[in-house]
C-alpha cells in the first residue's frame, strides 16, 4: 500500500500562496492520476477547517483520510474541542502548526494536555517543523516537540519535514524516544542537489525506515512527481525494497492506524 501521509487543499485555490493551486479539483485530478492508495489531508484550524477537509475526503471515500485540528484561539476550550472532535470524527491524528496557529513554547502546559488527549484517543500528534518566513531563525518548533515528548511520555509525535533545515537536531531528538517519528514531506524537494540531501538520507538510515512516514506536502510538491523522485533517491542511497515498504506505507499504517 502506498500512502502519502501529508497533503493539503484549501477552500481558496490561492490560499496556500500565489504559486500553488490548492483547489479541490486540482487535488482530485492529481490523486486520480497518481499511484497512491491512500492520502492524508491535514487541516489547520481556522486556516484550513476540519469540516472542509472531511467534505473533500467524502469525494473519494476510503482513499482520502484526514487529520484533526483545533483552533488554538479557543484557549482552555481547545482541549475540550479536540476531545469532542476525536470522539465524533474518524481522524488519524492531531495536526499542530506553531507558525500558522501562533503556538509557542510558552503554551506548553496546555499543548501537553492536548497531546495527552490525542494519545488517549490513540492518535499521534504531528508538529510542523519547517522554519520559514519572518521569524524563521527564532523558530522553536523542535523545542516544542522536545517539551511535549517529556510532558507526554509514550505519546506518538511526528516531526514534520524532518525538522526542515534542522534535520540533524531533529534526529538527535527523535532518537530519544521510540514514539517520535519523521515525516519526510517537502524537505527533499527543497534541498535536492545540495549537501543537505546527504543529511536527509543519513537521517532516515539512522532513525530507521520503520520510524519514517512518506508525505509530499502537496500542493507544495506534486503527488506523483515527488513520489517518483523520492523512490529514485532511496534506490540510489541503497534503501532496500523492505525499507521502502515501511517508508511508503507500513510506518504510516502503524502510526496513523490505517487499516
Ligand atoms: Zn504541510
Give the distance (Å) from ligand 1 centre to CA of residue 199: 21
- What domains appear along the chain, each with residue ranges and CATH number? 3-255 (3.20.20.140)
Residues whose Cβ atom is located within 5 A of ion ligand 1: 217
Residue-wise pLDDT tens digits, 58-106: 999 999 999 999 999 999 899 999 999 999 999 999 999 999 999 999 9
Q: Which set of grid coordinates corresponds to residue 61?
A: 471515500
Q: Which set of grid coordinates corresponds to residue 158?
A: 511526528
Give the distance (Å) from ligand 1 centre to CA of residue 77: 25
Residue-wise pLDDT tens digits, 143-169: 999 999 999 999 999 999 999 999 999
Give the distance (Å) from ligand 1 centre to CA of residue 5: 10
Backbone CA torsion sign across 15, 17, 21, 27? negative
Give the distance (Å) from ligand 1 centre to CA of residue 9: 10
The pTM for the full model equals 0.97
Give the distance (Å) from ligand 1 centre to CA of residue 80: 25
Amino acid at each position: 500500500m502506498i500512502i502519502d501521509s501529508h497533503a493539503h487543499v484549501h477552500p481558496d485555490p490561492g490560499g496556500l500562496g500565489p504559486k500553488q493551486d490548492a483547489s479541490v479539483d486540482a487535488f482530485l485530478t492529481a490523486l486520480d492520476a497518481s499511484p497512491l492508495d491512500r492520502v492524508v489531508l491535514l487541516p489547520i484550524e481556522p486556516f484550513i477547517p476540519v469540516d472542509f477537509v472531511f467534505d473533500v475526503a467524502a469525494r473519494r471515500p476510503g482513499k482520502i483520510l484526514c487529520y484533526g485540528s483545533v483552533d488554538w484561539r479557543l484557549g482552555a476550550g481547545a482541549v475540550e474541542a479536540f476531545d469532542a472532535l476525536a470522539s465524533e470524527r474518524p481522524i488519524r491524528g492531531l495536526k499542530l502548526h506553531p507558525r500558522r496557529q501562533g503556538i509557542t513554547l510558552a503554551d506548553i502546559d496546555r499543548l501537553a494536555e492536548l497531546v495527552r488527549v490525542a494519545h488517549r484517543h490513540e492518535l499521534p500528534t504531528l508538529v510542523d517543523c519547517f522554519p520559514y518566513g519572518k521569524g524563521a531563525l527564532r523558530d522553536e518548533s523542535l523545542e516544542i516537540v522536545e517539551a511535549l515528548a517529556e510532558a507526554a511520555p509514550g505519546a506518538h509525535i511526528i516531526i514534520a519535514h524532518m525538522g526542515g533545515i534542522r534535520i540533524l537536531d531533529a534526529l538527535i531528538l527523535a532518537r530519544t524516544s521510540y514514539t517520535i517519528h519523521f515525516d519526510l514531506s517537502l524537505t527533499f524537494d527543497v534541498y535536492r542537489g545540495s549537501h543537505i540531501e546527504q543529511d536527509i538520507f543519513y537521517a532516515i538510515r539512522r532513525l530507521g525506515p520503520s520510524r519514517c512516514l512518506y508525505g509530499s506536502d502537496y500542493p507544495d510538491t506534486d503527488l506523483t512527481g515527488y513520489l517518483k523522485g523520492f523512490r529514485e533517491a532511496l534506490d540510489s542511497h541503497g534503501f532496500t525494497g523492505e525499507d521502502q515498504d515501511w517508508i511508503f506505507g507500513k510506518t504510516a499504517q502503524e502510526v496513523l492506524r490505517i487499516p
